[in-house]
Every structure is written in structure tokens, then in C-alpha cells.
Structure 1
Amino acid sequence: MGDGHFWGYYPGKIWSWLVVKLLFIPVKVEGREHLVENQSYVFVANHQGAFDIFLIYGFLNRNFKWMMKKAIRKIPLVGVACEYAHHIFLDKSGPKKIRKSYEQAESVLKEGMSLVVFPEGARTFTGHMGVFRRGAFMLADELQLPVCPLTINGSFNIKPRMKDLFWVFWHPMKLTIHEPIEPIGKGADNIKNQMDKSYEVIMSALEPKYQGFVENPDQ
């Protein structure tokens, strides 16, 4: 419990599951058979909306840490809670800071502990996917971990980013767990391979009306 493995996962899982159930939101999960027990993964997902957190926390059924912007550390209460839970703050202000973030991740990602990242870095305004950033894939390359793409459907319909804070629509959600992409070596080619394949696979499982690239204004 002291290492954050319990407090960093189970309270969030229970809370997320309860929120979804209390709102009577149906959830479908496909692809759990692709995951190997006690294997660490870098999970990468499209960022449809606020309910992505509830879907992944409540229904992925894997103990994991979030990789998040260092700015979140400054948010009152949230930053402290994330720090105690040993979530990873990515500091990209220089090579030494990036290296320190990687070392923190390496110390945490053991014995099946995984990492979840939204490579777009921000929620979509349109339901479509934006640009993927390299950070998660550079980390996977550094640690030689498989990248497991996740496709989220329905979260954007429940709480679009441009709606009022308390405005929630009823809509089913679906989490698709794709086959993990194993490293093919180490370096730029591997990073590009895992990033490009992840983007393609995630996009392929989106609802047809949300397929196709649309740039997000804040990317």
C-alpha cells in the first residue's frame, strides 16, 4: 500500500465504476484476451472526453499509472494525490528532466504494472483524433515495452469538451483493447513503428463518423 500500487488504482477504479453504474451507462469491453498476466504495457488511447478516465479506470481491469503533464502537479489536492499514487509527471523542459521522468517510470513499471497515456495530450473538440505526440512511445522504446492501443467510443457523446461542466448526455461507451505492438528494436525506427501502428489501429475502431484526422486547436 505504501508504494502507491493500492491507493493509485483501486479507489479510482471503484469510484469510476460507481459513477458509470449510477448514470446507467452501458459499457462494452472487447479484446481483454490480448493481454498477458503480469506483463507491463504502455497503453495509449484516443482522448474523447472527461469520461475516458471513468472508462479506463473502471473497466480496463489492469493496475496502472497515468502519465500526465507536469502542470497537473500544481493543481490543489489533485497534484498531491497523484504524487502519492506514484503517477508519472512528464517534464519535457530539458534532456535531464526527461531522463528523470523515464527513471521514475522504470522504477514503477514492474511486475505487471502498466502505464496509460493519451498521446494527443488534450481532449478532442470534434470527436476526431488529433496529432499523437512522441513521449509515450519514446518511453516504451526506452524500457522496451509493448505498446497496447486502446480505442474509446462514446465518451465524446456523453460529455463533449465544449459543453457546460455539469452537462452530461446518456450514451453507451465501448473500450476496444487491441493487440499489443511489440518493439522491433531500439531507437527512432521502433518509436515511429509503434506510434504509427497505434494511431492507425485506434482510428480503425472508431465510429465511422469520427474517423479521419482533425487537428485540435490546443495541440
Structure 2
Amino acid sequence: MCRTQESGIFALGALHITVALLLSVAQITMTAYLEFRKSIIGRYMRISPGLWLAVGAMITGITMIKFAKRRTKSFAWPRFLVALNVICLGLAGVVIFYDTMYLMDFKKWIWRKQRYAGDPNFPIDAEYGQFYTMRNRLDLEALFILGGCLMGLTVVEVVLLILSIALLSKFLCVCCSETAFLPVVSLVPKTRITMVPSRENLRQSMPLLTTEL
């Protein structure tokens, strides 16, 4: 059972690394695009919270793989891994918050731009100056898709973190307890059949049942 859980920890560690790489690509691409377009729309994303989460997920994944390969039964490693997953879960919450603000601002600006287009009483571009540099539909689609990808990858990472915490907690309770790996001592006396030659039964060699206590 413990070996199965170790295999699960190894698989989750590999998934953490994969999602971390994808998060890094999404966050770096978004930040580079915003810098290239010279837009301050990225005031929520310039601090690169997705990159922080990617680094945390990468460290967590590598540590989980090393733990699964080492197969140690110490209490310290599972607790350390649970702490890492909890920290990454907090970072994921920050990413979701900032990305939600980013997408809400985007949606609000698009709605007002469509509703009050050409109305001099509603200077949308003056109010939402951070979007003023996006002159074509490609900018809108690219930035919205990047924000959606970052949000989707973050949700996937949250699911992986919750599964990792649950599996590590179960491993800590079942496989790292004080009695989990003690040798099993049977209370039933061992018996075996031995051949005891004697003058009387030397020819017949009858087996005798002896008991070892």
C-alpha cells in the first residue's frame, strides 16, 4: 500500500513540474507582451504572481520526486512537503485573485467600449487609459487568451496541490506511524517436521513432530 502511495507521490510531482513549466511560459509571454505594447493594463500582472507560483510548484514537484525515490519513512519529509504544498496553495490564491481582477477590468472595458462608442459624454479611453494602446482586435484576443490560460493552469495546479496534500497526509498517517514498519511477530509456535534416527526406527525413519517455542 505504501509503495502505491509513493508511486502516486512521484506522479503528482511530475505533474507539478509540467504545470510549473506551462505557467512560466504563460506568465512570461503575458508580461513580455504587455511590456512590448507599453500598456499599463498589466498593473495586476507586472508583479508576475504566476511566475512565483511556477517556481513554488517546480520546487514542490522536484522535492516530491526525490522523496518518492528515497523511500524514507521519516516524519520530517512528508510534513515538509505538506508545508510546501500549502504555501503553493496560498500563491495560487494570489494568482487567481490578480488574474480575476485583470480579466474583470478587461471585460468591463470591452463592454463600455461597445456600449458607449462615439459618445462624447463617456470618454472610455480617458477613464481606461491602460487599454488605449490596444488598437486592434489581435491585442484584445491575445491578452484575453493569455489571461484565460494562466487562470486555467492555476486551477489545474490548485487541484494537484489539494490531491498532493491529501495523499501526503494519508502517507504520513499510514506509512510513517510508529507501528507501520515494525516486524510482525507471530504468537503461534513454529512447528517443523524433522527426521530423528534411532535404533528402533533407523530402518523405517519415521518423522516426528517437534515444537519449537
- TM-score normalised by the chain length of structure 1: 0.24
Please tell me whether Structure 1 or Structure 2 has the larger radius of gyration of its CA atoms: 2
Structure 1 or 2: more strand by fraction: 1
- TM-score normalised by the chain length of structure 2: 0.24
